[in-house]
Amino acid sequence: MKAQETERRFKGLGVSEGIRIGHAFVYRPLKLEDIQESRADSPERELERLEQAKAACIAELGELIERAKTTVGEEKATILKGQASFLNDPAFYPPMQALVRTEGWSAETAVLRTVGQVAAIFESMASDYMRERAADVRDVGRRLMACLVGDQGASLADIREEVIIVADDLTPSDTVQLDKRYVLGFVTRVGGKTSHTAILAQSLGIAAVLGAGGGIDQIRHGMKLAIDGSSGECIVEPDEETLRSYESKRQSELQESERLKAFGDKPATTKDGFRVEIAANIGTPEEAEGLAERGAEAVGLYRTEFLFMSVSKMPSEDVQYEAYRQAVESMQGRPVVIRTLDIGGDKELPYLDLPEEMNPFLGYRAIRLCLDRKELFLTQLRAIIRAGAHGPVKIMFPMISGLEEWRAAKALYEEARTQLAEEGAKIGEGIEVGIMIEIPSAALLADRFAKEVDFFSIGTNDLVQYTVAVDRMNEKVAELYDYFHPSVIRLIKQVIDASNKSGKWTGMCGSMAGDPLAAPLLVGLGLHEWSMSPASIPKVKAAVASLDREDCVRLAERLLELDTPGEIRAELEAYLTRI
């Protein structure tokens, strides 16, 4: 009898590389839709059950709020506090009691009906913000129902051993409960490369297979799984042969990881002594922790948007200051480049009251928004300048399209400094102020900008989209999106050359910087600072260490003569296999 018979395989999208073997932790939070309506014999008994469930639910929320305060901060705990206050609301709980008492419904039915009615009221309101509160109502309803039903369905907060988490989907309010030490990997039914789960997995360096569909239905709690975060393959109850093969792949992976770690401490220098600064991209202050150990010499991009998202009101100057300060202090003397608010109508920010636009990516966003709302911008600038008192800080403005914008932004920066100085506040000195190059108009004017800015940071993600006129999320045209497009490379060269002429530096914070395949080209063009996801740092450092700058300069010249992205990639691949 072959053991193969118990093994089952299925495939999903590999979004975060890694081979992992472990036991499944099936996370299946209770769905309200699963509950059937029913009547009950004893209303007194149902009322008692309801009361106990409510108490348990409030206690559970209390614990989660405490935990959230230490893991993700007060602001995020606000969502949970809001839920707790619904439970005590006269329009939420008393109607449930009434349904039990006067109509003889079971406690479950009372919860189901009341939650449905209240959520429906929110859903019928005109503002997007109010409609979204319906989700909060359903969320707390689900929690109450779970307490009522005695659903001992596994809670993520209880995980105390290494597991592979299997779920339909994982939201930020789910993953906030995880103790990262115990998570080997994620397998989910839905989701893709840009999901929250994918981004989290990449930044933690764990394996993830998303969009696995119905494949996950065959996994029961505790079953052994082997997953490959690159190919997207998942094996349930792997047989001995499969296990051996996966274990050996895992061993190679660990060895490679060790080898790369050796580069971690050292600066990235080519064989002939050309040194580049390797930095990390972060979205939250927590991500700055431990970056030095992972080989980052600096933070090349701190995306400040996350502070403004998932909160119900504008973060105050002090809230922002605390966050920026935390990031700066975590870096212990290494520079942090903070990008001012880069957001627009594609993201929901109710308190900003953004207009609906036909083309949000060509519209009222980022620096345009900030220059129009001076108070908002000044608040952020002040918070950054104050954080600069705790360590080296640099500021960059996103989506700059012309010199006027840059000059206006710089003037506001000076105004913020003056205000703070007059108030006698402790502020950072010698703060470099630069711009993102992501719009072709700025790249084409790099020589003019270079005279006025302190540095450039090339945002290849958006630069490619605007230059080649392609939306990389649009499946029909996504193939056109390639940072090896000859036009993009010309622009990159133009920017670096312009900065050199004026004695300024150029960095890159788009995903091209973290691609080892691009390393020979970027070394050849003389890019000074490379900022990437922390997970990419070891590979890129290893790549740089294997290169000879002189040779790369000649390679870059050859690449600039080629016509298509395909040819450029092929040439780079051939080059890397030769050396």
> What residues line the site for other proteins (CB under 8 A)?
82, 85-86, 89-92, 118, 121-122, 125-127, 129-130, 133, 137, 312-313, 350-351, 353
User: Which residue number, 134 or 572, has a Cβ lying nearer to other proteins?
Assistant: 134
Q: How far is the CB of 422 from other proteins (least distance, A)?
A: 22
Short-list 350, 180, 257, CA closest to 538: 257
Helix or strand run (H / E) with residue 188: strand 183-188
Q: Given 196, 234, 370, 552, which residue is catalytic?
A: 196
How far apart, in whole angstroms, are the C-alpha atoms of residue 548 and residue 273?
Answer: 8
Report the alpha-carbon angle 566-572-573, nearest 5.
Answer: 90
Tell me whether strands 393-397 and 432-437 are parallel, antiparallel or unpaired: parallel
User: Which residue number, 354 or 495, has a Cβ lying nearer to other proteins?
Assistant: 354
Q: How far is the CB of 134 from other proteins (least distance, A)?
A: 11
Are 412 and 381 a contacting pair, CB within 8 Å? Answer: yes
How far apart, in whole angstroms, are the C-alpha atoms of residue 520 and residue 418?
Answer: 44
Helix or strand run (H / E) with residue 413: helix 403-423
Q: Which residues are 393's β-sheet partners?
A: 336
User: Which residue number, 130 or 190, has a Cβ lying nearer to other proteins?
Assistant: 130
Are 311 and 281 a contacting pair, CB within 8 Å? Answer: no
User: Which residue number, 57 or 234, has a Cβ lying nearer to other proteins?
Assistant: 57
Q: How far is the CB of 135 from other proteins (least distance, A)?
A: 13
Are 579 and 545 a contacting pair, CB within 8 Å? Answer: no
The reply to whether 196 belongs to the active site is yes
User: Which residue number, 91 or 469, has a Cβ lying nearer to other proteins?
Assistant: 91
How far apart, in whole angstroms, are the C-alpha atoms of residue 481 and residue 473?
Answer: 10
| Residues in contact with 84: Cβ distance below 8 Å, sequence separation at least 6, in sequence order | 58, 61, 62, 65, 140
Structure tokens given for 351: 């308190």
How far apart, in whole angstroms, are the C-alpha atoms of residue 178 and residue 192?
Answer: 20
Q: At what angle do helices 43-71 and 128-149 cross, to 10 degrees?
A: 120
User: Which residue number, 134 or 559, has a Cβ lying nearer to other proteins?
Assistant: 134
Q: How far is the CB of 118 from other proteins (least distance, A)?
A: 6
Give the long-range contacts of residues 359-362, CB within 8 A, separation 24 or more: 361/465, 361/471
User: Which residue number, 82 or 205, has a Cβ lying nearer to other proteins?
Assistant: 82
User: Which residue number, 86 or 484, has a Cβ lying nearer to other proteins?
Assistant: 86
Q: How far is the CB of 85 from other proteins (least distance, A)?
A: 6
Q: How far is the CB of 83 from other proteins (least distance, A)?
A: 11
Q: How far is the CB of 90 from other proteins (least distance, A)?
A: 4
Q: How far is the CB of 345 from other proteins (least distance, A)?
A: 18
Q: Given 234, 509, 528, 552, which residue is catalytic?
A: 509
Task: Give residue 577's Cα distance to chain centre.
Answer: 33
Short-list 229, 137, 215, 233, CA closest to 185: 229
Burial of 429 (0-12, 13-18, 19+ CB in 10 A): exposed
Neighbours of 269 (CB within 10 A): 15
* Alpha carbon separation from 144 to 50, 98, 152 (Å, rounded): 9, 17, 13
Q: Would you please indicate which residues are annotated as catalytic (active-site) residues?
A: 196, 509
